[in-house]
Chain A
Amino acid sequence: MTQTITMTVNGREARVEVADPDMPLLYALRNELGLTGLHFGCGLGQCGACTVHVDGEAARSCMLPTASAAGKRITTLEGLGTPERPHPVQAAFIAEQAVQCGYCASGMIMQSAAFLAKTPRPTEDQVREELVNNICRCGTHPRVVAAVMRAARG
């Protein structure tokens, strides 16, 4: 009774067999496709740890049924950039050392990258507002804002 769902993940076609099409995309990405860069934080759409891009928009993968991703373009942290070709936000997170435990970092980076694509020259306050629903418990906030501003400066 499994169903096959096809989507594009990090530029490649991916097929996921699901017993329950309502299974959140988070589990398909982490467990079926081994993309563990995104994290389970709440499963409630409240924390941002699971953020990915769906057709270029930041989305909470814990709230998306896998079936809804059919035919969509999904990007995860692993697909955003690599050590050889880092996305500017990734490079800026390293430059600013904007990570402690890093459990939130994936979501912070994905949210910020999607934001900068639309708002390339934000103010610091805009960055803070954009990240208002991304929780960090370690207190990396000032460095995250500095990193996003650095990435925006290019």
Chain B
Amino acid sequence: MNAITNRRGFLQAGAALTVAFSVGLRPRAAAAWAEKPVAADEVGAFLSIDAQGAVTVYVGKVDLGTGVRTAFMQIAAEELDVPMARVTVVEGDTALTPDQGATYGSLSIQNGGVALRAAAATARREFLRLAGERLNTPPAELRVEDGAIIAGSRRVTYAELVGGRAINLKVDANAPIKPPEARRVVGRSAPRVDIPEKVFGRFHYVHDLKRPGMLHGRPVRPPAMGAIAEAVDEASLRDIPGVVRVVHQGGFVGVVAESEWSAIRAAQALRVRWSDWAGLPEQAKIWEHVRATPVAQVQVTSERGDARRAIEGAPKQLAATYDFAIHSHASMGPSCAVAEFQGDRLTVWSASQATHNLRKQLAMMLGVEAEKVRCVYMEGAGCYGRNGHEDAAADAALLAKAVGRPVRVQWMRADEHGWDPKGPPHLVDLRAGIDTQGNITGWLADAYIPKGAGGNVDLTAAELASLPREQILSPGNIVHNLAHGYAMPAVKTTCHRLETTPFRPSWIRTPGRMQNTFATEAFLDECAAEAGADPVEYRLRLLPAEETRGREALERVARLADWQTRASPQRDRAGAVLRGRGVTYVKYELVRTYVAAVAEVEVTRGTGAIRVTRFFCTHDCGQMINPDGVRAQVEGNIVHTLSRVLKEELTYDRRAVTSLDWASYPVITFPEVPPMTIELIDRPAERPWGAGEPAAAIVPSAVSNAIYDATGVRMRSVPFTPAKLLAALRGA
């Protein structure tokens, strides 16, 4: 069953909605796209049930290839007591779904799923109340089975209960949810509903959408990021059949053609005179550039005692700087969107994480009210954050406006690697004082990271064409996890929020938390080594006793990895191949998911080659909706982050990105993926937390600590390339 097909079916069968029962149905406004409530405090925003008892779930959070669609179905099926097969999901359609914010930050289940659960539980309670009246039985004596409420031998279905009436219900966050022992669907691994269609080539990605009369567009990006197109020579396309239009506005240039291949050829062949621009910093001096960037805001994220004084008074002082390279999302599928104007109304199909925000951004760019724009989510390739999907949507919108026909834009590989927003450069200075017993007396962390939070990332087309846009930086919430939960007498963690950063920044899986955890957990390992302490014991010593779940995660990962208690580095470092192990722990954002990991590595001394040979992880995200889905996310986090940590680094000259394909931006390959042992700690009575990112945070430091254990050399700069390790080994 395909949610997209069903959604289309639903839209075409719009009339059915009026005869079908719908929770909270309101009259259809003649011209409005919105035919149902979308306010997130109304049950009807999340759920409708038709006369046959089929349940449709409407969510603002979207399935980015992570499997949350299946988890949403499980949640609805559980609370409403209907089979999963009777549930379909509509995601991220601004006309139909509540605005639940962007799908980021590992919040889909924690927030989106919990909101849906509350809506379903509210509906269930109302059905029980109505059934109680109808069947003359107190609700407590009723049973719900397969969408029907039963009292002895009498039963009434949800649909019969409401009989076509509209019920307006406010979501009650305190409506009773099923207790763990009564759950039959949630908490058990359910096969993902999208996988069969993906495996048989029947799934409809946004890339596959065809609209009547649709043309194909391609942006032509400047060879220097800030260049303007001074002149465009349309005659250079004379020999390409089916070219419909060249669109040119400032730095924005695009071509539209009847066929995709003609659009591609035209984009390659178009002769453009570009202005000169060379505003990027020199890559070799990126960290000097970061340090020289003006600070807009100083943000102290934790402070206890006088850390500076404590460090200066300590018998032993450590200081180190950790840096983390600029990364691309480097999605497998170049970003894609289809835009279509009908009169002054624009519909855009996009794999955006945040269709509700995209709608506002497109409206702003085009100078129209948001009500004139509808954004409909369709799955694309995994994005791992705010990649180019929204920008492709803006390209398509500008091109569709110019030609008056629907336009599909898919970027080329070089557009994706070159123009997706980037994970910004991240620099952390650390200092610690250690007393004669090896205790940390004071801890100072100073991060140099761009200003801004998880707002909207400006659309590239709007930037290039100088159209209205917000002009703010939105790198994601990158300050988290610089503060840590270890007990130390004096701590100060400070984020120096920089005025600018070389590339348009955005979040990539675990933004900031990954970089800060890398610095914190590797530097903590430096302290443990200085103290001559075992790295697991050292952490347990510093973790407060009341942090029982964190301690359990750490203790269990040590057992899982058969951790031998000793200090790092290992003693015998004379061989050609050195082996080591490293541990890491994080409590995500200090308020949710606990993760601990052990990495084992093998280092070839002569070449600096690093191989991660095994990876162990324990993961406690509270209640799990779909345990196998959580496991897949943890695996994905580990593999993706190993790729980033061992291999990935954006390269650029003064004009533009130069790592424009998979050869110049290498990523992890099958032989490099280690065997993984993952232990999910299930806590059905706890609240559900996120799993989409936290396990990524622990990977860089686990690997760095393992390399140190093997070699005695500390890798403080991501990626850990053989060249860097070789240089460090030679210097050691």
Contact = CB atoms under 8 A, between A and B. Distances in A.
B361 interface: no
B201 A40 contact: no
B369 interface: no
Contacts of B671: 125, 128-129, 132
B638 A101 contact: no
Contacts of B431: none
A35 to B, nearest CB: 7
Nearest to B637: A139
Contacts, number: 178
B673 A20 contact: no
Interface centre among A37, A99, A132, A138 (most CB of B within 10 A): A138
Nearest to A131: B670
A137 B265 CA distance: 28
Given A97-B191, A100-B67, A145-B670, A19 B333 contact: no
Interface in A114-154: 125, 127-129, 131-145
Of the four ranges (under 10, 10 to 19, 20 to 34, 35 or more), the interface on chain B belongs to: 35 or more
A43 B207 CA distance: 15
Interface of A is mostly: loop
B309 to A, nearest CB: 45
B413 A42 contact: yes
Interface stretch (B42-50, B255-263, B442-450, B451-459): B255-263
A13 interface: no
Contacts of B265: 20
B35 to A, nearest CB: 29
A117 to B, nearest CB: 18
A83 interface: yes
Interface centre among B195, B208, B265, B379 (most CB of A within 10 A): B195
A89 B412 CA distance: 30
A30 B380 CA distance: 16
B638 A19 contact: no
A19 B262 contact: yes
B632 interface: yes
A86 interface: yes
A79 B637 CA distance: 33
Given A47-B332, A97-B192, A101-B64, A27 B261 contact: yes
B667 A135 contact: yes
Given A36-B208, A44-B661, A101-B382, A139 B636 contact: yes
B489 interface: no
Nearest to B641: A139
B606 interface: no
21 contacts: A19-B259, A31-B259, A36-B204, A36-B205, A37-B202, A39-B381, A46-B661, A49-B333, A77-B201, A78-B201, A93-B199, A99-B195, A102-B194, A102-B199, A106-B201, A135-B667, A137-B331, A137-B332, A139-B640, A141-B673, A144-B670
For the complex of A and B, the 7 pairs showing the least CB-CB separation, nearest first, are A37-B201, A101-B65, A139-B639, A139-B636, A102-B198, A77-B201, A101-B382
